[in-house]
Structure 1
Amino acid sequence: MSLSAITFLYPAMLAGLMVLPIVWLLIRSAPRAPKQITFPAARLLRGLKSQRRDVQRAPIWQTILRCLILTLLIVAAARPVMNRNEFVQNNGAILIIVDNGWSSASEWSQYRSALDQIINKARFDLQSVYIARTAPEAAGATTWKLPDIVGPLSPRGAQDLIGRLQPRPWAADYFALSDLISNQQEMNTTIGSVLWLSDQMANPGKSELAEELLQIAPITVIEPTINDRMAVRSLIRSRTGLIATLSHNRSDTARTINLLARGERGSVLLRHNAEIAADTEQTELTVLLPSDIANAIQTVGVEGRESAATVFQTGARWQQRRVGVIVSSGDSPAVLSDRYFFLDRALSPYAEVIYQPLGKLLEQKVDILVATGPISGLGSQHKNLERWVNDGGMLVRFAGDSSTEIGNEFLPVTLRLGNRDFGGSMSWEKPKRLLDFPETSPFFGITIPPEITITRQLLAEPDPDILSKTWARLTDGTPLITSSAQNAGRLVLFHVTPWADWSNLPMSGLFVELWQRILPLASPSNPNSGELQTSLPPQSVLDGFGQAHQPDAMILPLRAPLATPTPRHPPGIYGENGQAVALNLGPFLGSLANDVTWPSGIDKRKITDHNQIDLAALCLIGALLLLLVDGLTLLAVHHVSLRRNRQSNAVTSTLIALAMLGTSTITVMLSSTTDGNAATLQEAALSPRLAYFETGVAPVDRLSQAGMAGLTEILRRRSAADLSSVDGVNPETDELSFYPLIYWPLVDGQKPFSERARDRLNKYLENGGMILIDSRDREVEPARLRRLLAGLEIPILDRAPGDHIVFRSFYLLDHAYGRFSAPIWLDARPDQRLDGVASVLFGGNDWASAWMLPEGREEMRAEDISPRQREMAFRFGVNLVMYALTGSYKGDQVHLPAILERLGR
């Protein structure tokens, strides 16, 4: 330990060391022992005992020991601090700006360390804190905005808020933060310094915001020690594997990374070692893979860099389909290469193309069949083809040449006889162009080149549902591409040929884009449902660290074309089966090579691992130990019995009192320098409150906290139960016995509890605790609960009868109302030792969403809850808490008629 790392908060107290020489002289100023002189008459006094003792000078070791004790007490009063972080001067409140956009995730542990150091210093200096975040959050029904600046906060309150901060999987909005700060005039007059936790990446509005903040207070930018930005920009499927493009910052030296490809449930399928060359900002990596392994890839990421930008999800479009082109058995390779040239060029980069007769293609179980005219061999394979389509296959058909008809079977629409010719010798019409694709089409969002023209087409008979079957149409409204569902399968018809005689569509890049949209609709793992989704609901989304989790009510369905990730559409998988689309962050990011140019006058510092430590407690402990050593040594030297001598008893009592005083002083000092758990436990014991289990999934935890806080407020308004603020608890580490009711939302993929956590939960239930378990998805079968909670002593559950006490403990209800209206299950045989009160209740009504107050956290509110449903959910919540607090006393009312009858006798 270096002495330069120690700072004194109250250096003036060290002036007390000047009294040490005086103390030394006082201890050593006792008179010397008298000299003995032989006197003959002294023999008469032999045998006499004197009751007076001459004062002797204290030993030198004792003098040094006592001076050292005094020195430690003086130094403790001066409050020595090791590794003092001089981020700011103590001249006002602190504004902490936390960059919590996607770029902060990979170094978030350093950000948290820096935030802890800042709050620790604010605690020492008694400074208030304002906290601003740069990443927007969901707000309202469909929009988002930057969170309000929170403050002024005490250091303890700021620590609680910082503990809930998480990086977001989208970009920061510095322009919105500039507007927020400019509107906080009262804050601008009170802050004395600005601490900005940010990386070195240039972003729009970042330097401009720094210039504005310099007009308010000095700025200190605290940066991570490592400047290593990286994102997976694109992932392309090739015939031999995959091609990944990485965007990164420039570096003077080469870097080595591991590219990880994961399959279903996160299993690692590939670890590819690659080198990023020096002084480059983009790297293309080619990985050779077999087709079956490439098909199984769900995500590709960079090992060791946890960020939503370094995770690229594949979606349904990634899997390579097997496309069978129906040909006649006598077609030669030369004919195939000539007739199917444009079709093969459009399909082969993204699918495995097979040219064979219909019977052999059906035997090979291809995903898509393509017929470029009349279906060859249909007569003998009619039933097999019909069965294949009904079971989920996709048949794509094209118009034949001018001399043949394609028939009237296996078509999505009814065709007219002949075909329509534009621009011919017998036609006054010019070649037609394409209209923009409708929203009901899977091609919606694709840009149509103006040079695409149609000279001939097959005409469809006007049906009542022709518009719903049309995927593409010409400027005159006639269909060009039609489709319809046939049971689980689908029929698609191009009203032109696949070669360039009727149109130049097959020669264009648009033809390739159309096939890129068609191929995913034939999902090999999940048969097509037959109906297209125009609005793709979220299936799983990524957090800031690139970890997938279930979406919450704040995330909206996605529509084509893909938009930049936002709080309403975070990166993730949207849609189902063959329409599952992967929304990734990397493709929407700009260059990562540019570093921000900070204005002059800004102080820049790196994040360190050295936290500020208060040494006053150590000094007090040292003084106490030396004091005990001094007392014990004094007793040993003078051979005094601790049980018989009153003076020794007094000394012993004094030592014990000093020890207790020192211990209490140390405890106070430690509690003032740390935020320890004892104070929290004491508050929980003295102030009843509700709690919820922390799942580790940030949206679910925020929803649980808001719901339980809303229920607490409703109880305060409508009953005499004045409960304190809600706590989030972890059964692995927290004491549960102080909470009468704990809300437990279930999430998929939860890790099994450790033996310690199971013991805590079992003890909590055994001693009268109550847990409300919420599956949040209307799924209320107790068998599912058994699977998720293996190892816990969960009692046998049964469906709650309509006359159960929980339905009349405060309000008279008939159902466990929540966001949904599923039944509730509870102990079938509750323990009579616990007054017959159920310890476990289980349902799937998403109570937390329904218990949120309408005026709070608007961005988290579910839109599908009516005011009537929310009111009934509030009433059930009040009943539930009353049942947990008061037990089954309301059950006595069922005996009220019998009691009145007996009183009447």
Structure 2
Amino acid sequence: MSVFGGIGFTAPWLLLALLALPILWLILRAVPPAPVRRRFPGVALLLGLADDDSTSDRTPWWLLLLRMLAVAAIIIGLAGPVLNPQAEAEEGSGPLLILLDGSWAGASGWDRQMAAVDAQLTRAGRAERTVGILSLTDPQVPTFQSADAWRSRLAGFTPAPWQPAPAELTRATEIMAALPAFDTLWFSDGLDYPGRDELLAALQSKGAVEVHQSAGNVIGIAPAVYQDGAIDLTLRRAAPGPERAAVVQAHGRDPAGNARVLATANATFEAGATEARTSLSLPAEMRARLTSFDIAGQRSAGARSLVDDGLRRREVALIRGRGAQEGLQLLSPLHYIEQALAPSADLIDGTLTEVLPANPDVIVLADVATLAPAEAEPLQEWIDAGGMLIRFAGPRVAASDVSRIDEDPLMPVRLRAGGRSVGG
């Protein structure tokens, strides 16, 4: 490639055609020989007549200039002009490997990265270099071929929802060792991970290495944690930087079952900090409908956290038996049940007629022997719809005749007949 005044030409030899422009000028100006003049008396009859259309005996100078400029523009266009081209020494020669991290951290700017890769393929095509492309999240032996062949396959490259694992880096290093010498263009997603230095050393042993890394600071979100009645959210960024605000969106289903954003929370990275925290206080019913948290404006797997059962505290209804309560708290039929369930569930206290409309996940009957028909029938329907009933036997159940002769549909087994007390 030749460079003239900041403009390069891929076919500079075509510019020699500009030397032929003076010859073209002379050809266009050429006129036929002057006509032989013969006097004819009848010409006097034509005096004073004028034609509607007239033809000039020579081409006007401005038309000649336009034609010359058009021919010059065609010649320059065929010479392949390039604005601010790279110097010939920087183009390099020989095989070129384009290495992609291909991780979740590059998903937000993937389109820009593919545009940069396409520009490098164009540059390699002008230098007539063969190109191979390798992604660290799916290392396969690259095939070095023309840049045009790779350009048609760029749409097939997509970022993986994980970062390169040690096994994948080891595989990539082994592939590099088996290849002949080549130069490398490494498009990094901005994350550091074990084995990166060893891979860089392997690439440098094969040729020159040029690293392209996005200037954006990658942000990710950690799994949500339920603590002290609120949902704690932790955001992390790849490197320290200036103060930066981020918005966390809580996605879920509304009562009609439609997906929507149920709540938002603001988090702020302090200057120089790599971690930001925020929290959300939501009712138990809304927490049960959450499906995921994500960072607004970030499109990557690391910017989204799915909700698991650890965040969905179950609703457990505790039903006491009718009659006087125990005098001592430790003798209460629900005391130890409450102590066991309180850290991991939302407890509902009341009568069956009060808790059934809330549709809890579990109903616990603590030493409740019999139920009124107005309570037993709705409870049976709730169980048939998928509810879970847990019954604890106590003195009242032991003293009753429930499920001894006839099987009770609300009892898991029949109670054995006879005494149940062991003394001595």
Q: TM-score per shorter chain, which class?
A: 0.7 to 0.9
In the alignment, structure 1 residue 393 sits paired with structure 2 residue 393: no
Cα distance in 2 for residues equivalent to 1:319 and 1:98: 39
- Structure 1 contact 359–381 (Cα < 8 Å) conserved: no
Cα distance in 2 for residues equivalent to 1:310 and 1:252: 18
Deviation at 1:188, TM superposition (A): 2.2
Cα distance in 1 for residues equivalent to 2:414 and 2:208: 71
In the alignment, structure 1 residue 163 sits paired with structure 2 residue 155: yes
Tell me the residue number matched to 1:129.
131
Cα distance in 1 for residues equivalent to 2:415 and 2:8: 88
Tell me the residue number matched to 2:114.
112
In the alignment, structure 1 residue 223 sits paired with structure 2 residue 213: yes
- Structure 2 contact 363–389 (Cα < 8 Å) conserved: yes
Cα distance in 2 for residues equivalent to 1:254 and 1:386: 57
Cα distance in 2 for residues equivalent to 1:27 and 1:359: 106
Cα distance in 2 for residues equivalent to 1:229 and 1:277: 15
Tell me the residue number matched to 1:269.
262
Cα distance in 1 for residues equivalent to 2:39 and 2:19: 52
- Structure 2 contact 10–79 (Cα < 8 Å) conserved: yes
Give the direction of change, closer, same or farther, for the CA distance of 1:25–1:380 in structure 2 (3 Å limit): closer
Cα distance in 1 for residues equivalent to 2:338 and 2:20: 97
Give the direction of change, closer, same or farther, for the CA distance of 1:254–1:323 in structure 2 (3 Å limit): same
Tell me the residue number matched to 1:14.
15
Deviation at 1:339, TM superposition (A): 8.0
| Equivalences, count | 387
Cα distance in 1 for residues equivalent to 2:295 and 2:5: 41
In the alignment, structure 1 residue 237 sits paired with structure 2 residue 226: yes
User: Counterpart of 1:155 in structure 2: which amino acid?
Assistant: A
User: Counterpart of 1:253 in structure 2: which amino acid?
Assistant: P
User: Counterpart of 2:106 in structure 1: which amino acid?
Assistant: S
Cα distance in 2 for residues equivalent to 1:169 and 1:406: 61
Deviation at 1:130, TM superposition (A): 1.1
Give the direction of change, closer, same or farther, for the CA distance of 1:364–1:337 in structure 2 (3 Å limit): farther
Give the direction of change, closer, same or farther, for the CA distance of 1:365–1:271 in structure 2 (3 Å limit): closer
Cα distance in 2 for residues equivalent to 1:405 and 1:298: 44
Tell me the residue number matched to 1:207.
197
In the alignment, structure 1 residue 99 sits paired with structure 2 residue 93: no
Give the direction of change, closer, same or farther, for the CA distance of 1:131–1:417 in structure 2 (3 Å limit): farther
- Structure 1 contact 358–378 (Cα < 8 Å) conserved: no
Tell me the residue number matched to 1:378.
369
Q: Secondary structure at the match of 2:371?
A: helix
Deviation at 1:83, TM superposition (A): 6.5
Cα distance in 2 for residues equivalent to 1:11 and 1:376: 98
In the alignment, structure 1 residue 369 sits paired with structure 2 residue 363: yes
Cα distance in 2 for residues equivalent to 1:80 and 1:46: 63
User: Counterpart of 1:167 in structure 2: which amino acid?
Assistant: P
Q: Considering only aligned residues, what root-mean-square deviation do their CA atoms show, in Å?
A: 4.4
Give the direction of change, closer, same or farther, for the CA distance of 1:169–1:14 in structure 2 (3 Å limit): same
User: Counterpart of 1:173 in structure 2: which amino acid?
Assistant: A
Tell me the residue number matched to 1:720.
none
Deviation at 1:22, TM superposition (A): 5.6
Cα distance in 1 for residues equivalent to 2:180 and 2:415: 71
- Structure 1 contact 32–56 (Cα < 8 Å) conserved: no
Match of 1:353 among 332, 341, 347: 347
Tell me the residue number matched to 2:79.
78
Cα distance in 2 for residues equivalent to 1:159 and 1:91: 19
Aligned residue runs from structure 1 range 651-730, under 5 A: none
- Structure 1 contact 399–406 (Cα < 8 Å) conserved: no
Match of 1:258 among 235, 244, 247: 247
Deviation at 1:210, TM superposition (A): 1.2
In the alignment, structure 1 residue 319 sits paired with structure 2 residue 320: no
Aligned residue runs from structure 1 range 790-869, under 5 A: none
Percentage identity across aligned positions?
24
Q: Secondary structure at the match of 1:379?
A: coil
How big is each residue's C-alpha offset from its partner over 1:116-157, in whole Å with a ceiling of 9 and x where there is no partner? 222333343433221111114xxxxxxxxx4x2231233343
Q: Secondary structure at the match of 1:170?
A: coil
In the alignment, structure 1 residue 195 sits paired with structure 2 residue 188: no
Cα distance in 1 for residues equivalent to 2:92 and 2:318: 77
Deviation at 1:355, TM superposition (A): 3.2
Higher strand share: 2
User: Counterpart of 2:174 in structure 1: which amino acid?
Assistant: S
Cα distance in 2 for residues equivalent to 1:132 and 1:109: 17
- Structure 1 contact 239–349 (Cα < 8 Å) conserved: no
User: Counterpart of 2:294 in structure 1: which amino acid?
Assistant: G
Give the direction of change, closer, same or farther, for the CA distance of 1:363–1:110 in structure 2 (3 Å limit): closer
Tell me the residue number matched to 2:48.
none
User: Counterpart of 2:367 in structure 1: which amino acid?
Assistant: S
Deviation at 1:213, TM superposition (A): 0.2
Match of 1:278 among 268, 271, 286: 271
Give the direction of change, closer, same or farther, for the CA distance of 1:188–1:340 in structure 2 (3 Å limit): farther
User: Counterpart of 1:198 in structure 2: which amino acid?
Assistant: S
How big is each residue's C-alpha offset from its partner over 1:458-506, in whole Å with a ceiling of 9 and x where there is no partner? xxxxxxxxxxxxxxxxxxxxxxxxxxxxxxxxxxxxxxxxxxxxxxxxx
How big is each residue's C-alpha offset from its partner over 1:565-606, in whole Å with a ceiling of 9 and x where there is no partner? xxxxxxxxxxxxxxxxxxxxxxxxxxxxxxxxxxxxxxxxxx
Cα distance in 1 for residues equivalent to 2:300 and 2:268: 20
Cα distance in 2 for residues equivalent to 1:333 and 1:305: 58
Higher relative contact order (CA 8 A, sep 6+): 1
Cα distance in 2 for residues equivalent to 1:206 and 1:73: 50
Give the direction of change, closer, same or farther, for the CA distance of 1:128–1:315 in structure 2 (3 Å limit): same
Tell me the residue number matched to 1:775.
none
Deviation at 1:286, TM superposition (A): 1.2
Aligned residue runs from structure 1 range 289-304, under 5 A: 289-304=282-297
Aligned residue runs from structure 1 range 576-595, under 5 A: none
> TM-score when scaled to structure 1?
0.37
Cα distance in 2 for residues equivalent to 1:195 and 1:412: 72
Tell me the residue number matched to 2:407.
none
Q: Secondary structure at the match of 1:66?
A: helix
- Structure 1 contact 13–77 (Cα < 8 Å) conserved: yes
- Structure 1 contact 234–244 (Cα < 8 Å) conserved: yes
Cα distance in 2 for residues equivalent to 1:253 and 1:413: 69
How big is each residue's C-alpha offset from its partner over 1:187-207, in whole Å with a ceiling of 9 and x where there is no partner? 424x3x211111222111122
Give the direction of change, closer, same or farther, for the CA distance of 1:360–1:71 in structure 2 (3 Å limit): closer
Cα distance in 2 for residues equivalent to 1:248 and 1:212: 28
Uncovered stretches (5+) of structure 2, i.e. residues with no partner:
45-55, 404-410
Aligned residue runs from structure 1 range 613-652, under 5 A: none
Q: Secondary structure at the match of 2:231?
A: strand
Tell me the residue number matched to 1:843.
none
User: Counterpart of 2:141 in structure 1: which amino acid?
Assistant: I
User: Counterpart of 1:393 in structure 2: which amino acid?
Assistant: G
- Structure 2 contact 14–79 (Cα < 8 Å) conserved: yes
Tell me the residue number matched to 1:762.
none
- Structure 2 contact 101–136 (Cα < 8 Å) conserved: yes
Q: Secondary structure at the match of 1:109?
A: helix
Q: Secondary structure at the match of 1:260?
A: strand
User: Counterpart of 2:112 in structure 1: which amino acid?
Assistant: Q
Match of 1:89 among 84, 88, 91: 91
- Structure 1 contact 249–280 (Cα < 8 Å) conserved: no
Deviation at 1:62, TM superposition (A): 3.3
Tell me the residue number matched to 1:61.
62
User: Counterpart of 2:223 in structure 1: which amino acid?
Assistant: S
Cα distance in 1 for residues equivalent to 2:272 and 2:336: 41
Deviation at 1:399, TM superposition (A): 8.3
Uncovered stretches (5+) of structure 1, i.e. residues with no partner:
35-41, 50-54, 137-145, 420-905
